[in-house]
Amino acid sequence: MKHSSLFMVLLLSSLFLFPAAGVLGDLPTREDVLSGILYYGLGNWHYQPIPVDDSFSKKAFKAYLERLDYGKNFLFRSDIEALQKYSLLVDDGWRSGRFSLAEDGDKILKNRVRQAQAYCKELFKRPLEFRKEEALELDPRKRGYFLDAAALQEYWRKRVKYMALTYYLDLIGEEKGAAPNLFDPVKEEKARKAVEKGVNSFFNRLLEASKDDVNSHFLNAVTAVFDPHTSYFAPDKKDEFEIEMSGTLEGIGALLGEENGYIRVAEVIPGGPVWREGKIKAGDLILKVAQGDEDPVDLVGINVTEAVKYIRGKKGSRVRLTVRKPDGRIEMVALIRDVVQIQETYARSSLIKEKSTGKTYGYIELPKFYHDIKNQNNGRSSSDDVAKEVEKLRRLGVAGIVLDLRNNGGGLLDDAVKMTGLFFPSGPVVQVKDKKKPAQILRDDDGRVTWSGPLIVLVNAMSASASEIVAGALQDYGRAIIVGGETTFGKGTVQAMLNLDDYTSDEWKNLRPLGALTLTIQKFYRVTGASTQVKGVVPDVVLPDPMDALEIGERYMDYPLTWDHLSALSFQKWNQPLPIREVQRRSRERVLKDPLLGLFQKNRDRLIRLRGRTLQSLNLQTFQKEQIDLRREDAQIRRLQKENPLLEPLPTESDGELKGEPDYQKKRRGDWFQEIRKDPFIVEALAVFHDMDLVKPPVKGKR
């Protein structure tokens, strides 16, 4: 996207935005300029702009209420009724630069926060009752706004008790063999004091919200109605976003999101501390964070920007995260903050020898797409690195190659096209559609095939964007068998980030910095014409994956762009048809007999059932027993997930290349080989290769 083009549109639009300024000599306010740029920017450049009318206002008003009282912790029904007068006026406020809804909402919220703060001050003076059998509703969608002050106080009494219980169990957990019904008043007091500190910090953060924070809630309620990836970043939030995207963020190495009042791990960044440690996964909820040996701070009910301030820290510092797993299990995980180790994100390959057959297969893991744009001549790219690994495996004579794109959130489109082209001679790979222009067809036309043998691509619910382009194209060409969970993420859109300061004239420079806007500008389509948006890529061989129970993906977001399709392109399918139906039948039979995959299926079904059970017992004995039972089930899975004795991962480097290798690299490779031997999806992929050998359809023509 050209900044100059958008600047001209906005410059012309400014004649209509501020007519009074020229006549009366008044300068526009910061809100005037922000509203104008966002209004005309979204209207002119968003991929699918929507009418800004009363229907839009209703949606934006609902989104604003969710942002104002994140998790329904404070507001009364009467407060919502008082704000209801704005439900059809959001569009007018946005156009005019008058944020009356945001101003009134902020005043009401802070008044209720002070009420809760005063109540909790008294609550913390007395011991908490852990023996009473009662429950807290954890899902704010099932809780209404409070009827009165008594309802607010009852909620915060239970909320404080729940937080204290989780901290208390951390303390009890430090003593091996503690009985479930054990009660220690000293530990209760310590837990209560720690929670008091965290809750007061939470209240103070809300009461100290800046005008930028208040305006951001309003503007992001507006942008959210366009699609979930279009967002406004206030100046300080823009700086934090740029730090994260630069890859130099010192922290835990995870992208965080918000889910019903909780901080959720949206994605684990390859090469970061969370990825290397392996205990925290996408879908986990972060309940508390503690610096070193300090008392933890509760994160429930705060927005993700505030949470990041507590979780981020200097390299080498220790942080303790209390997380709740999708099955309800609560764990404390200690991490040493670090920068993301880029070398951990690079493509790497391994030989996998089957001891029972003597056959050797190739395995390539690509945790993320990468491309050194600043160093085009000598920098690394994922497509070039995968090409080198494929060529290496081809020379070693492997019988088939597994390309693992699980948990790969995507990257540059050009890399996806080049990578796909490694496996067939030439043809279209993906269609990219702008708002007004005909679709652009991106092709691979070099005529070279780096690997022409059997190919399997592994995917899961976290495979997104460029990963979906590669998997979708190879599936459409009949070139590879796709193996994974129910479907991929379903992100078929492209975003651009605009620095809003670039779109203001010098006469408004005193209003800078204004922040940034990310907006959706393009959509992807497969060669068949189908979009990858929302539906993603459905694997040929579907395996039970507990991740499919976690509501991860575009289809679970508010206001995603819809699935649609273009005309199919003309393309030549691979000349060796794949025995998809027979492979599917044989795989289903193996899954029914495999104890680990069977347990995955049971765990997935159980997680789906648990999604609807959100009442949490606040009785110490019941709470602790639930946690013991959950840990027992998790231990059962880990016991079954043993290393497969029939698989022998081997390095692709020669003995000479490995000579003098540092000890840390040897350990890294050994740990990786151990993961491969335990991975049921890799084991099943090799079984699919056997099926392909047993059922070989006739070859169509020659190449």
CB 572 within 8 A of CB 564: no
CB 639 within 8 A of CB 678: no
CB 460 within 8 A of CB 542: no
Count other Cβ atoms within 10 Å, centred on residue 2.
Answer: 7
Q: Report the candidate in 346, 486, 484 with the shortest Cα–Cα distance to residue 415.
A: 346
CB 674 within 8 A of CB 350: no
Spatial separation of the C-alpha atoms in residues 369 and 346, rounded to whole Å: 8
Spatial separation of the C-alpha atoms in residues 475 and 541, rounded to whole Å: 11
Q: 172 — phi, psi (to 5°)?
A: -65, -40
Tokens read off for 525: 């389509």
**Residue tagged active-site, from 216, 465, 531, 587:** 465
Strand segments, DSSP code E, in 196-237 are: 231-233
Bridge partners of 330, per DSSP, are 324
Q: Which long-range contacts (CB under 8 A, 24 or more apart) does 209-213 make?
A: 209/106, 209/110, 212/236, 212/515
Spatial separation of the C-alpha atoms in residues 148 and 75, rounded to whole Å: 9
Count other Cβ atoms within 10 Å, centred on residue 317.
Answer: 15
Spatial separation of the C-alpha atoms in residues 259 and 265, rounded to whole Å: 10
537 burial via Cβ count (<10 Å: 0-12, 13-18, 19+): buried
Spatial separation of the C-alpha atoms in residues 221 and 60, rounded to whole Å: 5
Computed from CA positions of residues 692, 694, 697, 702, in that sequence, does the dihedral angle turn out positive or negative? Answer: positive
Tokens read off for 694: 């047993």
CB 523 within 8 A of CB 531: yes
Q: 281 — phi, psi (to 5°)?
A: -125, 165
Residues 6+ apart with CB under 8 A from 23: none
**Residue tagged active-site, from 72, 238, 491, 523:** 491
What's the chain's Rg over C-alpha atoms?
27
CB 541 within 8 A of CB 483: yes
Spatial separation of the C-alpha atoms in residues 470 and 462, rounded to whole Å: 14
Q: How far apart are the first and last CA of the chain?
A: 40
**Residue tagged active-site, from 79, 284, 476, 545:** 476
Computed from CA positions of residues 28, 31, 35, 38, in that sequence, does the dihedral angle turn out positive or negative? Answer: positive
457-485 residues labelled b (16+ CB within 10 A) or e (exposed): bbbbbbbbbbbbbbbbbbbbbbbbbbbbb
660 burial via Cβ count (<10 Å: 0-12, 13-18, 19+): exposed
Bridge partners of 204, per DSSP, are none
Q: Which residue has the tokens 């206001």?
A: 559
DSSP letter (8 states) at residue 274: H
Count other Cβ atoms within 10 Å, centred on residue 212.
Answer: 13
Q: Is 491 designated active site?
A: yes
Spatial separation of the C-alpha atoms in residues 115 and 578, rounded to whole Å: 66
Q: 14 — phi, psi (to 5°)?
A: -65, -25
Spatial separation of the C-alpha atoms in residues 477 and 500, rounded to whole Å: 42
Q: Give the active site residues.
A: 465, 476, 491
